[in-house]
Chain A
Amino acid sequence: MKTVFPAWSDTAFRVALVGGVLAVTAVVVGPMIYVRTPFHQKREYPLDQPVQFDHRHHVRDDGIDCLYCHSGARKTPYAGIPATEVCMGCHAQVWPDSVQLEPVRRSYFSGEPLRWSRVHDLPDYVYFNHSAHVNKGVGCVTCHGRVDRMALDYQVASLAMGWCLDCHRSPEKNLRPLSEVTSMTWQPPPGRAGDALARKLAAQYRVRHLTDCTTCHR
């Protein structure tokens, strides 16, 4: 009797079966992988900026403290990009004729602000407060990475909600003395001493485990 299906149809069916399962898996898993890629999270690649500002030079070579320019971090929600007058505080004397600093001078004398590209861009429904973290002993480097090694600034952390929650659930491991908040190189003492210091700091700074949704979303 003549068969209805040719012999290869079994194979085709199996391939289709496996392919279908894979396709469905890919549709579900693919985006999940994609949103975790540095590309999607915009990690590790610098953005174009109006001025070729070099953190390496200012932080490492000149030893300027983070809070000198980002003075809002300790007291206000926003760390803040310095006003042009802060740049000119030094650059009126240092490199006053530099071509690279032309936009800065133009901004200062015309009153037109510089328009920087936002590197750490949280969604609009997230209310992040710098002062609440800085005053609890969370270091700049913890979220922003080794800024002292960056030419143009780029994002290091994923800034995904899971990353935030990891720390909000157990913040102790990311605490440091307030005097070391802006340090790029501070390391906790190794082993038990580090754990003890973490516990001591958490108690001293009244660090809580805030995981209520409205801590960040309002």
Chain B
Amino acid sequence: MDDGAKLVQLRTRRNEPRLWRDADELVHGLAAGGPEFSEDGAPDGWSRRTFMKLLGASVALAALDGCDRTVPEEIVPYSVRPTDVQPGVPRWYATAMMLDGFASGLLVECHEGRPTKVEGNPDHPASRGATTIFEQALVLGLYDPDRLRGVEHEGAPSTWEALAERLRRPRADRGAGLRLLLPPTTSPTMLRLVERARQVHPALAVTFHQAMPAVENSVAGARVAFGRELQPIYDFAAADVVVVIDADPLCDAPMAPAYARAWAARRRIGEPSQTPSRLYAVECAPSVTGMCADHRLRRRSSDVAEVLRAIAGDIASLPAAVRFGAPVADRFSRAVAHDLLARPAGTTLVVVGERQPPAVHALGFAINAALGNVGRTVRFIDALLPAGDRDLGALVAEMRDGKVDTLVTVDGNPVYDAPADLELGRALGSVADRIYVGLHANETARASSWAAPLAHAFESWGDGRAYDGTLSLIQPMIQPLHGGRTPSEILALLGGERHPDARRLVVETHGTGFDVDAALAAGVVPGSAAPPVTPAAPDAAAIARSLLTLPRPIDGTIEINFRRSPTVHDGRFANNGWLLEQPQPTTKLTWDNAVLVSPATAARLRVHTQDLVEVELDGRRVRGPIFVTPGHADYAVTLDLGWGRQGAESLARGRGFDAYRVRTTRSPAFGSGRVSRAGGTRELAMTQRQFDMHGRPIALTTTLDEFRRDPDFTDDYKGPEPSLMPAVKYEGLQWAMSIDLSICTGCSSCMVACQAENNVPIVGKEGVLHRRQMHWLRIDSYFEGSLEDPGVVHQPMLCQHCETAPCEYVCPVNATVHSSDGLNEMIYNRCVGTRFCSNNCPYKVRRFNWFNWHKRVPANAGAAALQHNPDVTVRDRGVMEKCSYCVQRIRRADIHANNEGRDIKPGEVVTACQQACPTGAIQFASLSHADSPMVKWRGEKRAYAVLNDQGTRPRTMYLARLTNPNPALAADHERAEQK
């Protein structure tokens, strides 16, 4: 029996659902695969003669390229060596990153005073040692060439002294014409300095503005439900059933890494006898959390509340007033309600997302209270983000009325991301002095009379609170590269201080008894978390009243949805090359945003992916390309915010389209509008179709029931196949990796971490279109089931470090060989670029440098080179590269251990991807570390090797994805599959 027949038979026996990669493949049976691995061989239109000519010329030119002039090198020692700095020895500093007003704890790796890599602080409650892509990419933002470089006044170079003098200038009107526009913040120092500025200017009004706030609606919902401004903190580790309503707590939330870790702890099982938690999701556009759900109901955002009300209708312990008027439950909501009720009190959890109005949050809190979850899976603390004196609308009205003569904007980019109906840019015209202190030469800087550089997080002293209230200090790793000042210094100047010093301002905030050194060393202040609040019973009448205010579900028209971009957030990271080239977790789109639409609605609109459409909302129009998104709700489109920037930032400018232009105060998250064909197309750089399973068992998935029925279902996909290669000796340290697909959320932190650690360049949109992206680690997403309602399997794919590696025996120059500790080594200085290895690699994880990307793409060159990890070679043109299992970290640990006369301890080597992974889905260790999770996982039933039948004996093993569907809804699943 040949292999193909065997596979087909296996698949039939296992009744595995067919997995697919994108809509075209499912509908038309189109296999993916493009120019790089095209099946018809040579490009068209070339004669053999031309080919030989070009080959000859290439060889001659390649020989010329080998001629290199050796540049004499210098050694430049310190004049006076700073204490603790030893050349060649990296140091880690604990600091924090502020995003959405909340701190997440970081450890920043510095080489000779140069920040190069970000890790999560394991002691910090919001990170637990992991990071999101934003934290990983923060270090590249430090070296952004388009940061503001000096103080400018009316377009002419000016000085900090002049601006400081302007900020300190006494006012006769007690500050009545002075306004302060800040991003929301929990920083005690910032809030103290705002108050001090208020002492000098009593009539000063402060506005906190963020385009898509992180907790505003949940706090407002708590005010409705409990009569008190509270923010919820979830405990996913204690929840057996989680219902996520239009939220993305595993990827896009202030505590996302910590939430994801807790969720994974309850979700991952080793033995069939254990039971993982169950996740339901109701949402419009597929989110990271939604795509992990066992049951995902796609609904327009305006219909989501109805689903939750229907669920509430079946929960008898809820007050009748809250249940009153609930729609009749359909199968989904009834099944969810029954599942919730079947569990012991306090073991379930309902999470409502920020895009939903406060009433839905209030209802969610009421359900949690009725199920006994309050104090168990959901805790409350007092809301941490202070409210401003004015909201942005009121501020703009004042500006228009000419009541404001000076507007001080620190950080953020309000001219770009304010709701379009406010027309902030025009209102600014009536303000005489528009002072902007920010990171980038962006839209707001351009519209301001004063533009001054803000210090980057890695150049600043500061402080901030995590989402649970834990205090962290922010310390600088490097002097401000462009002479930036911290936000606290700007506020202090406004408060009349003559020579503000950011460190002193922080120390003053926390008083004399505060141990600054201990707080800096640990990265957190122990015991500073906010005390939990036990809320009163939910106010049923208030919740019922607020439910009446919910907008009617939108009929007849198309719902326009806005969400923060998964990669550039609200636009603040739009000039970060790593994030621009990062395939967005659910669409695998790079370098662009798109109008996401379901296949059925696309068919109705008669549009295909890449067709340009015009989206109209409240009379405002914007044009963007369609992206047909399996799993999107019908009669709705989703636009990612943060793109289409018009500032002076070279990478961000003109990428994608600006969805803020149609977003108004009336419809901050969704509204009813129209979508029509605009004619024409825009080419989108997608990585989704570049790799294909070709019908082979690559990503395995099973359900809990099937797993219990047939626990040995992976047996055919593991175990050594016969090989002619010499046997591997398992002596000493033998490095290996295990990846559990069950808890991989596809959030992509690992990809950016790998890029940062291993000096992986970006290639630009054109490069991605040619399939030349250099990511050593990619996340392949395979869809399962129907086009309309797919499940998804995310599979991190990196070099498998095969014991009998097919790449090794085709290399004519021994540039890829095996090490004694089980690594598949890639030796750049030997590689001559035949690319035989890549052709022979069944996993397609080898990436070829078609150009010297570090020179060819300007974003990789210049200051960005300061980010490079000095322990990893920067690859030149013409060499192959691939995942090395972070060999530089292995060798560093090895030398360190050997200098101490011992072996490497388990857990001493952590790869960059493993360290960044919020759920801990990637585990790395030596096979000799028998107690490590890595070794234990490989022994579990779900473990298998990808393409085991190829006889490659990969060192990386995967654990099949396991879902835990509700049997009451399983029939739905099967019906969808048959379709």
Contact = CB atoms under 8 A, between A and B. Distances in A.
Given A135-B898, A213-B819, A218-B884, A72 B79 contact: no
A135 B89 CA distance: 17
Contact of A213 (B80, B81, B817): B817
B895 interface: yes
Given A81-B77, A214-B823, A214-B884, A125 B899 contact: no
A135 B801 CA distance: 31
B4 interface: no
A201 interface: no
B536 interface: no
A112 interface: yes
Given A125-B828, A212-B819, A218 B873 contact: yes
Interface stretch (B68-76, B169-177, B411-419): B68-76
B88 interface: yes
B79 A111 contact: yes
Nearest to B872: A218
Contacts of B898: 132, 135-136, 206
B73 A121 contact: yes
A110 B79 CA distance: 9
Given A77-B88, A213-B827, A113 B77 contact: yes
A131 B887 CA distance: 18
B89 A76 contact: yes
B579 to A, nearest CB: 26
Contacts of B895: 129, 131-132
Contacts of B73: 117-118, 121
Given A127-B891, A214-B823, A116 B76 contact: yes
A214 B891 contact: yes
A218 B891 contact: yes
Nearest to A127: B871
A78 interface: yes
B820 interface: yes
**Residue among A118, A132, A205, A213 with the most chain B CB within 10 A?**
A213
Interface in B40-93: 70, 72-81, 86-89
Given A212-B820, A213-B819, A214-B891, A118 B871 contact: no
A213 B825 contact: yes
Interface string B872-899: 1110000000001001101100010011
A92 interface: no
Nearest to B829: A125
Given A132-B899, A214-B819, A83 B80 contact: yes
Contacts of A77: 87-89
A116 B74 CA distance: 5
Contacts of B872: 218
A47 B70 CA distance: 15
Contacts of B871: 127, 218
B88 A118 contact: no
A153 B78 CA distance: 20
Contacts of B817: 213
Given A116-B75, A206-B901, A214-B819, A84 B825 contact: no
Contact of B79 (A112, A132, A135, A215): A112
B216 interface: no
B827 to A, nearest CB: 5
Nearest to B903: A206
A114 interface: yes
B382 interface: no
B955 to A, nearest CB: 15
Interface string B354-391: 00000000000000000000000000000000000000
Contact of B87 (A72, A107, A108): A72
Contacts of B75: 81, 115-118
A215 B851 CA distance: 27
Q: DSSP class of A's interface residues: helix, strand, loop or mixed?
A: loop
B821 A212 contact: yes
A23 B891 CA distance: 45
A49 to B, nearest CB: 10
Nearest to B76: A113
A217 B899 CA distance: 20
Contacts of A205: 901
A84 B89 CA distance: 20
B645 to A, nearest CB: 36
Contacts of B825: 212-214, 217
Nearest to B81: A83
B815 to A, nearest CB: 9
B77 A84 contact: yes
Chain B: interface size category: 35 or more
B488 to A, nearest CB: 29
A115 B823 CA distance: 39
B79 A84 contact: yes
B899 A135 contact: yes
Contacts of B74: 115-118
A123 interface: yes
Interface in B801-823: 817, 819-821, 823
A76 B891 contact: no
A83 B81 CA distance: 6
Nearest to B899: A135
Interface string B823-864: 101011100000000000000000000000000000000000
A19 interface: no
B873 A125 contact: yes
Nearest to A124: B873
Contacts of B873: 124-125, 217-218
A82 interface: yes
A25 B101 CA distance: 71
B827 A217 contact: yes
B899 A118 contact: no
Nearest to B874: A124
Contacts of A218: 871-873, 884, 887-888, 891
Nearest to A207: B898
Given A77-B89, A213-B827, A214-B884, A83 B819 contact: no
Contacts of A112: 79
Contact of A83 (B70, B72, B78, B901): B78
A107 B873 CA distance: 32
B891 A217 contact: no
Nearest to A50: B74
A85 interface: yes
A86 to B, nearest CB: 8
B80 A84 contact: yes
Interface string B888-924: 1011000100110100000000000000000000000
A113 B898 CA distance: 34
Contacts of A113: 76-79
A218 B891 CA distance: 9
Nearest to A71: B86
Interface in B405-439: none
Contacts of B79: 83-85, 107-108, 110-114
Given A115-B74, A124-B873, A217 B89 contact: no
A200 interface: no
A111 B72 contact: no
A75 B88 CA distance: 10
Nearest to A119: B75
Contacts of B89: 75-77
A38 interface: no
Nearest to B869: A218
17 contacts: A80-B86, A85-B78, A85-B81, A108-B79, A115-B75, A116-B76, A116-B77, A117-B72, A125-B873, A131-B895, A131-B899, A206-B898, A206-B901, A213-B825, A215-B891, A218-B884, A218-B891
Interface of A: 47, 72, 75-78, 80-85, 107-108, 110-118, 121, 123-125, 127, 129, 131-132, 135-136, 205-206, 212-215, 217-218
The 10 closest A-B pairs by CB, nearest first: A77-B88, A212-B819, A83-B81, A118-B73, A81-B77, A83-B78, A78-B88, A116-B75, A84-B79, A132-B895
Given A113-B76, A135-B898, 7 more contacts: A76-B87, A83-B77, A111-B79, A113-B78, A125-B828, A206-B898, A214-B890
